[in-house]
Amino acid sequence: MSENFEPRIVAFCCQYCSYAAADLAGSMRLSYPPNVKVVLVPCTGRVDPLHILRTIEDGADGVCVAGCLEGDCHFLEGNFKARKRVAYVQRILNEAGVEDARVRMFNIAASDGPGFAEAARMMTETIRALGPNPLSTKTEKMTEEL
């Protein structure tokens, strides 16, 4: 595993909460790892298992889905659906031989800039410990399987 590995993480953030929280973290000038690339979604209920799988397939080292606090979803239960779908994708990744910890669900309130920064740090640390997406490193996967 390379010493200077910088994880690439995609975060699907709900516009009503986590996206605002990410914004707030910026305004508050809180530092958090630049590894997390934010994708705006209208609700985490819009995140399809296929979005997450394709993101991993295309080389992201980690994916997080960040929705509202449970009970606070603007669409009532979008974040609950997202939680189940994340768990479903984790099972599929397990079956396919990829660590399920690369995919994770967070719940962050719009007012919680520090919470977003903390989630970004946590996710980056997790992925740093796991190493690069096994699909994007040819040499490693060959030696591991053989």
List residues near another protein by CB under 8 A.
Answer: 48-50, 53-54, 56-57, 92-93, 95-98, 134-135, 141-142, 145-146
Q: Is the dihedral of CA 76, 78, 82, 84 positive or negative?
A: positive
Q: How far is the CB of 146 from another protein (least distance, A)?
A: 7
Closest among 68, 69, 41 to 55, alpha carbons compared = 41
Judged by beta carbon, residue 30 or residue 92, the one nearer another protein is 92
Judged by beta carbon, residue 85 or residue 104, the one nearer another protein is 85
Q: How far is the CB of 40 from another protein (least distance, A)?
A: 22
Judged by beta carbon, residue 68 or residue 103, the one nearer another protein is 103
Closest among 47, 31, 28 to 39, alpha carbons compared = 47
Q: Is 84 left (phi over 0), alpha (psi -120 to 50) or beta?
A: alpha
